[in-house]
Chain A
Amino acid sequence: MKSKKDVYSAEVAQEMLEAEAEIQTSEGVFKSILTMFRRNKAALLGLIVIVIILLMAFFAPVVCRWNPTEIRLSEIKKGPSAEHWFGTDELGRDVFARVVYGSRVSLMIGFVPSIISLVLGTLLGLAAGFLGKKVDAVIMRLADVVLAFPSLLLAMVVMYTLGTSILNLFIALSIIDWAGTARIVRAQTLSLKEKEFVEAARSMGVSRWKIVFRHILPNCLPNLIVLFTLNIPGSIMWESSLSFLGVGTQPPDSSWGLMVSQGKEFAYMCPWLILAPGLAILVTVMAFNFLGDGLRDAIDPYMKT
């Protein structure tokens, strides 16, 4: 009998070449995301802006010369100057400092509900998609109810019922956001669970729960990252709207939305009072949207191949 080595050697040599060439041309998920940043300037810009905003929020005391809560009646409603970049408000507080410190609240409200709704939506979506039948029906009807209800109204009802506080704001925004995530995860789970690799995993004796968390969930992750980046600006917007309507952040805490709301009385005389926080919202939301869109473009074609 021929030895094993003999039998394989020729084909091995041929395949080695083949595989070698492939390794050089193929891309991993992270590499494809890097390539995306190189090609998609808007996404790169978004990322840079987000990093700057995060740094500013984190190092607010270093960035600001003024204390955002210090009231100086001699400096009331001054326009932008070298001293006060974004001017001062009706109590003589430095608007730039207030925008920078306000970003802490706004960003927190961007991130926390997005994380909560991401986890909640993912778990419920996985359960609905994988378990099917009654579990699916119950979860999806619940999601339908949330989606069918005007989100702003729903959030306002929650805020009025529970009272206005940051924690309740998190709850209200999470309630709005989980349904969309759950639907997307459910749809992906439905298609993934019929894939051959799931059957192959079952044929290896992998249990149902391990299949869900080790085989199906990682396949949903790229989409979840995108969803997460797009949920953050959503939450920031919702918070701004709620604060504007008076059921969001409450003084002495300050967020961008609240600043716009408070500044609207003086909008004609001192437009910087609403322009500064308004621009901050605009820039942040756009930066996250650019990043999210870029990520989606980078990840989607990867998932299709």
Chain B
Amino acid sequence: MQENTLLRVKGLYTSFASDGRKDRATAVNGVDLTIPRRKTVGLVGESGCGKSVTALSIMGLLADNGRVDAGKALFNGEDLLALSDREMRKIRGNRISMIFQEPMTSLNPVLTVGRQISEALRLHSDISSREAKQKCIEILDKVGIPEPEKRFVCYPHQLSGGLRQRVMIGMAMVLKPDLLIADEPTTALDVSIEAQILRLMRGLQEEEGTSILMITHNLGVVAEICDEVYVMYAGEVVERADVFTLFRECAHPYTRGLMASLPRMRAKGEKLYNIRGTVPNLRAMPAGCRFSPRCDFACEKCRREKPPLEDLGNGHLCRCFFPEKGGDTL
């Protein structure tokens, strides 16, 4: 088991300061996360639930007002959160790399695609610019960019969104990292390009044996690419299961709400389910279960006590007093 684990995040707490306030807003509240080797782990949740902040905490890329208050991120047994900035720089891009949501803005508009990829290469390995160029062209070819020699000298604005996201993936994969963190990599793309990008990521994963942490709010993407899924709500993990279990028998009312709000092919003309209410304010979390104010099944106990993350068997974890394993979808 231990050898199969690439990254183990334990009890991660991250908070942010904001101007003129003394109390810090806790965006990530005790998250545990395990990423096995060669697997894709999904991190799902609505906007502001702390999924991106979790990733940025692991990478040490929090904004200036953010801070990891507690927790460990053991990457190959080494705690990333205890590393100095210098040591962390050697890991970023090299052992762990990241791709971002907006392929339009994630590439520097005034540098050629080739220069940006070779910058990553030459930063972490001692190779000549000619070798770097060779490697860049190889990786551009690998991520399915036609005529890589021509594209090497292109500026980002000369490429389409799909091609740019391929360049980003190429940049992230050029050093064959152990872990690729993908923060909503397909949100800004249309669905046909999305399918291509996901297929590309899966192909590269099979080839290189990279683990992927896929951050998304799109359950379709989860179903497409993930092996395991963590569902986050208001800074906490509320459910964890392998992807089949999750889609077949999710137990937490929040996850079930998410599933029920997916449009379905067969149900025509029916109104889509939506989870009532909005995400609670980070500074004014409800006591007890954080989902209780929006939950259809909440009782007195839910509002008073905080449910623990309990194992329902086979590693299916759920933070609910009344998990309905395999219960009806809403």
Contact = CB atoms under 8 A, between A and B. Distances in A.
Nearest to A215: B108
B105 A195 contact: yes
B89 A11 contact: no
Contact of B144 (A12, A203, A207): A12
User: SS class of chain A's interface: helix, strand, loop or mixed?
Assistant: helix
Contacts of A197: 105-109
B94 A205 contact: yes
Contact of B107 (A23, A26, A200, A205): A200
B93 interface: yes
A62 interface: no
Contacts of B163: 15, 19
B120 interface: yes
A8 B202 CA distance: 13
Sort chain B's interface into a size bin: 35 or more
Contacts of B120: 204-206
B147 interface: yes
A11 B100 contact: no
B89 A205 contact: yes
A7 B207 CA distance: 14
Contacts of A214: 111, 119
A196 interface: yes
A20 B244 CA distance: 41
Interface residues of A, number: 32
B146 interface: yes
Given A15-B163, A205-B123, A200 B196 contact: no
Interface stretch (B23-31, B151-159, B223-231): B151-159
B119 A26 contact: no
B109 A202 contact: no
B206 to A, nearest CB: 9
A201 interface: yes
A221 to B, nearest CB: 7
Given A4-B203, A201-B119, 10 more contacts: A15-B162, A19-B160, A200-B106, A203-B59, A203-B92, A203-B100, A204-B97, A205-B90, A205-B123, A207-B89
For the complex of A and B, list the 5 residue pairs with the smallest distance between their C-beta atoms, beginning with the closest: A204-B93, A205-B92, A205-B93, A203-B98, A16-B146
Interface of A: 4, 7-8, 11-12, 15-16, 18-19, 22-23, 26, 28-29, 195-197, 199-207, 214-215, 218-219, 221, 305
6 contacts: A11-B196, A197-B109, A199-B61, A203-B93, A204-B120, A207-B89
